Amino acid sequence: MVSAPRVLTEQELNRATLDRQLLLRRSELDAAQAVEHLVGLQTQVPSNHYVGLWSRLAGFDAEDFSQRYQKREFVRMSLQRSTIHTVTARDCLPLRQLLQPVQDRSLQGAFGRKLQGIDLGALAEHARVFVDEEPRTFSELGKLLAEVYPEYDVQALGIAARNNLALVQVTPRGLWLQGGLAKHTTAQAWLGLEQPVPAMSADELVLRYLGAFGPASVMDAQMWSGLTGLREVFERLAGQLVVFRNEGGTELYDLPDAPRPGADVEAPARFLPDYDNVFIGHKDRARVHDTRVRKEQVWLANSALTTFMVDGRIRGLWKLETDKKRTTATLNVTALVPLTKAQVAEVETEGAAFLEFQAPGAEHELRWLADEDG
């Protein structure tokens, strides 16, 4: 007789997810190892990878990471869910090719209707020439393509090029404490790749996803990646996976030897960037959200706010303010639920370290603000 899958409580799922996400304790992994373990970091804001890695890695050095990014060990490009992620150079093209259907889907709406009759393959080759001559913004690229396709919408042409080429955002955008326009070239040109790189298999993607986000459902994996039809992949991998259920009865899959710490393991306070992996990696986000926090308190239209976690749950917001020379730095924190004195002290201790990371040697202040929506 086959026994029913073990039920994992929401608290057990929380601790397992935090462990996989390197948020139960700071990891000794190298930055590249961590980024690959996490299957990339969502970095809609170019500086997100610094906050995300500082909260996960022991002794994380932002300047060192920036130098490695400058040397093209890491890139930022459109991947999961057709959103910008920081990944290693080794992962970028295998992932991008597997996730091409996600990019294709974004052309099925208004922009796609503006491109009726166009040969997207030919357009991509024209765009490749333009961006490999020199990195371009999408506006610049669209205007150049409009010279070839004058009857088509400039913005739609730029979007089509983005979706049909593996484009990376070039430096100085993404470097530590530097900025720059979002200019693009192909990953092949940026990384000096002359030979084709094979696509990652869907099987490998699912196994890596579970290593970083499991235990998880098929729908979790599809939401995170943007891919559809993954159930057959899970079924094909069934002999390599273990099965659980959550308290609602949903089947969850996991790697047999992956860590699943107990529900009573302590989870430290952590400051996270907007769009952090930990709260967008599942269709059901209950495992990391505090039920008392309303969605509109952390999501504004299509943007997310920077949050902090207490005892493994999103329970507050933060915002850093510095002067131009970063001689003063104020960390404004807002609790969205009541915190105990011990939790307040923990946030303040972590906040002090965060201020030193963001503005070393500056005059620091941590300021508690009232929740205006509370």
DSSP string across 31-47: HHHHHHHTT-EE-SSTT
Q: Name which of 89-93, 106-110, 117-121 the model is least confident about.
A: 106-110
Residues 44-76: pLDDT tens digits?
999 999 999 999 999 999 999 999 999 999 999
Contacts within 8 Å (CB) and 24+ apart, 172-176? 173/46, 173/76, 174/43, 174/46, 174/47, 174/49, 174/69, 174/76, 174/86, 175/66, 175/69, 175/70, 176/47, 176/50, 176/62, 176/63, 176/65, 176/66
Tell which of 288, 314, 337 closes a domain.
288
Are residue 203 and residue 325 in the same domain, yes or no? no
The proportion of the chain whose per-residue pLDDT surpasses 90, expressed as a percent, equals 85
Residue ending a domain, among 266, 288, 310, is 288
Q: Are residues 63 and 127 in the same domain?
A: yes
Q: Tell me which of 105-114, 177-186, 352-361 is least confident.
A: 105-114
Round to whole Å and give the CA distance between 215 and 287: 11
Q: Is residue 243 part of a domain?
A: yes
Which residue do the tokens 């099965």 mark? Answer: 243
What is the number of domains present in the chain? 2
Residue 372, C-beta contacts closer than 8 angstroms, at least 6 positions apart: none
What is the C-alpha R_g of the chain?
22
Domain end position, chosen among 265, 288, 311: 288
**pLDDT tens sequence across 261-289:** 999 999 999 999 998 999 889 998 889 99
Residue 302: is its pLDDT beyond 70?
no
Q: Could you tell me if 280 and 301 lie in one domain?
A: no
- Are 28 and 60 members of one domain? yes
Distances (CA, A) of 20 to 17, 37, 140: 5, 9, 41
Straight-line distance from the first to the last Cα atom of the chain, in angstroms, rounded to the nearest whole number: 52
Domain CATH number, residue 330: 3.30.70
Give residue 284's pLDDT.
87
What percent of the chain lies above the pLDDT cut of 70?
98
pLDDT for 373 equals 63
Are 307 and 270 in a shared domain? no
- Could you tell me if residue 261 is inside a domain? yes
**Is the separation of the CB atoms in 348 and 340 below 8 Å?**
no
Residue 218 is assigned to a structural domain of this protein: yes
CA nearest to 272, candidates 53, 36, 88: 53
| Alpha-helical runs (H) found in the chain | 10-20, 31-37, 48-54, 62-70, 89-98, 100-105, 110-113, 120-133, 138-148, 154-164, 187-191, 202-213, 218-225, 231-236, 295-298, 341-358
pLDDT for residue 144: 96
Angle, in degrees to the nearest 10, between helices 202-213 and 89-98: 120
- Whether 178 maps to a domain, the answer reads yes
Beta bridge partners of 335: 316
Q: What is the pLDDT of residue 2?
A: 56
Judged against a pLDDT cut of 80, whether residue 130 lies above it is answered with: yes
pTM for this prediction: 0.95
Q: Does a structural domain hold residue 74?
A: yes
Residue 204 and residue 304 in one domain? no
pLDDT at 148: 94
Same domain, 253 and 363: no
The closest of 191, 225, 193, 188 to 209, measured between CA atoms, is 225
On whether both 26 and 81 belong to a single domain, the answer is yes
Question: Which neighbouring-strand residues pair with 340?
Answer: none
**49: in domain:** yes
Structure confidence at residue 301 as a pLDDT band (50, 70, 90): low
Quick one: 244 and 302 in the same domain? no
Residue 374 belongs to some domain of the structure? no
In a domain, 191, yes or no: yes
Residue 374 scores a pLDDT above 60? no
Taking all residues of the chain, what is their mean pLDDT, rounded to a whole number?
94
Give the separation between CA 104 and CA 99, rounded to whole angstroms: 9
Cα–Cα distance measured from residue 289 to residue 324, given in angstroms and rounded to the nearest whole number = 34
Residue numbers of the domain that contains 334: 294-369
pLDDT band at 116; cut points 50, 70, 90: confident
Q: For residue 363, is pLDDT > 90?
A: yes
> Is the same domain home to 330 and 182?
no
Q: Are residues 196 and 59 in the same domain?
A: yes
Let me know whether 172 and 53 are in one domain. Answer: yes
